[in-house]
Amino acid sequence: MKKAVLILITFFSLQACSPEDNNNGNNPNLVDLNIQLQLDLDFAEFNDLKYPGNSYTTYNYGIKGIVVYNLNNSQYIALELSDPNHPPGECSAMVVDGITAKCPCDDGNEYNIITGEQTAGNGQYAMKPYRVEKHGNIIVVSN
């Protein structure tokens, strides 16, 4: 009997776990796009990504753009640059300044590009992350 109860408790505990531990899955403001961005670190345009603490921003991919951050040469972070706390519009493309992404709208929203968490303003959603893999000198950003 104790074994059956233990198995049931374990089963229900595992069912309650989510593969993504963030609020992005329920964000009505950001749609899921198919992203496949490749950055070749041998090109001068992406040279800053060879060094930890640097980032690269492009506004040609994603909803309103993507920022890629080099955490430690083996870990890279990629985040959507559309402010997750309001629908995409003319002013929702955030601008990166150091490790902060700032929304130019009058809402004062700011986010940390390392964690994706909101650091100023009002909202309930964090920045939308993308999957990042490094293969030699190629960084692949996808979802």
15 - beta bridge partners? Answer: none
Domain that holds residue 82: 26-142
DSSP 117-142: -EEESS-S-PPPEEEEEEETTEEEEE
Residue 113 lies in a domain: yes
Residue 78 lies in a domain: yes
For the chain, the average pLDDT equals 87
CA 31 to chain centre: 13
CB contact at 8 A, 126 and 24: yes
Residue 16 has pLDDT above 60, yes or no: no
Whether this prediction's pTM lies above 0.85 is answered by no
Residue 4 lies in a domain: no
Residue 73 lies in a domain: yes
Question: What percentage of the chain has pLDDT greater than the value 70?
Answer: 83
Strands 138-142 and 100-102: unpaired
| CATH assignment at residue 137 | 2.102.10.10
Residue 131 lies in a domain: yes
67 - beta bridge partners? Answer: 57, 79
pLDDT, tens digit, for every residue of 69-118?
999 999 999 999 999 999 999 999 999 999 999 999 988 999 999 999 99
In sequence order, the 6+-apart residues with CB closer than 8 A to the CB of 91 are 103, 104, 105
Residues 46-56 have a mean pLDDT of: 96
